[in-house]
Amino acid sequence: MDNLCPVCGYDLKEPVMDSLICVCCGTQYGYHDSTASHAELRERWMSGGAKWHSRRILPPPDWSLVNQLRSIGCEVILVNREQLEVVV
């Protein structure tokens, strides 16, 4: 669990620490989360379309945003095919 991004749930494969940037949501720990909560950062990312951040590292072929968010305890409700509602 210590390797999961607290904003989006992506498995970073290493412990979350300052200066690390999540390839999925783009959160830079120790910078973005110094002025906003993880829930606020998640809301901003989701309202911007929850787009994959990294241009260099592509999402895994079996990537599931829904499963990823559920891994950090978010309740994900599929509103329609293109809209998710996330409850923490």
Question: CB–CB of 9/71 below 8 Å?
Answer: yes
Residue 54 has pLDDT above 70, yes or no: yes
- Long-range contacts formed by 35-38: CB under 8 A, 24+ apart: 38/6, 38/7
pLDDT for the residue numbered 40: 95
Q: What is the pLDDT of residues 69-82, one digit of tens each?
A: 999 999 887 666 56
Q: What is the pLDDT of residues 7-52, one digit of tens each?
A: 999 999 999 888 899 999 999 999 999 999 999 999 999 999 899 9
Question: CB–CB of 5/22 below 8 Å?
Answer: yes
Contacts of 81 (CB under 8 A, 6+ apart): none
Residue 83 has pLDDT above 60, yes or no: no
